[in-house]
Structure 1
Amino acid sequence: MEVNDIIFYIFGAITAISALYIMLTRNILYAAFALILTFIGVAGIYVFLGAEFIAVTQILVYVGGILILLVFGIMLTNRLSGKKVVSPAYHKLMGLIVAGGLFAILFKGILEANFSALNWIDKSKGAESSIPKFGLTLMTDYVLVFEIIGVLLLLALIGAVRIAGKTRKEVNDAL
């Protein structure tokens, strides 16, 4: 067994163990820290797969952005540790209708799109660098995944704003 294989298995073990810890722990702050470890392990696996750009993006976006917001939200609302935190759902039917309609529109658009007719695809096929090839693959084969990640980031931002708004209201009510 080579050193590269050993390091790859170490990153895989870090990812799997921290993901299991997230599933089994009841402390949300420890779960967030374990999620940071999981994302770093996945970034390490991306490096071994030759996708350094995705690994750096993984660390910058998820660890540097979303998880830091999550940890701040947890620490700001840590006063609720002794109480059961319930997140009520409002307008479930309307949310389901809007989400289903949006999914149907996006899915139909992706299926009917003729990506091979675009001029910039022909220009980037002959490129020497791997960045244009990555961009071409991302915007043709993985466009649905790219859009889902964009929606996920938007939802994380909305959730962080909502958490911060509730915390500010609680602080103002206490004063």
Structure 2
Amino acid sequence: MARRLRPVELDFIGCAPVRLVFTTGMVASPEAVYRALAEDVPGWPDWFDAVTAATPTQGGAGRDVRLRVGVVFHETILATDPGERYAYRVDATNAPGMRALAEEWRITPTAGGSRVRWTFATDGPPPYRALMRLLRPGLARSFRVSVRQLDRRLAASTAR
């Protein structure tokens, strides 16, 4: 079922053969965004449409994530910089073609809240790389919709 991927580190995020980077603004503070990303892992399905389940593993050093399309990721957390960055790599997956995958969420403060940048860094054979580039518009839409939903969710929890 799950295949082991190449274990990459944080530097892979900057030099991966395929890097898809998406950025948007949020009203929520960097601290609130970070908590939602890194500390409320089981809450991801409530705001990230592609995710159906997310479970912390290894005492918080890893995650198991299930996507709507049936893909499963077993991940290791690479960076937890409160209010600034949350990054992880996929160690094993049932997704075909993938050889390596790491994702990074960067959060920077703005006058109106936060700016969030999600980097999807991956590698695989040439057909996989081409497919990932073709999927860019769909990933961009998923990111925008999900971050908007997270922003609304955080605003509602603050209003309570």
| TM-score relative to the length of structure 2 | 0.30
Larger Rg: 1
Whose helix fraction is larger, Structure 1's or Structure 2's?
1
The higher relative CO (CA closer than 8 Å, separation ≥ 6) is in 2
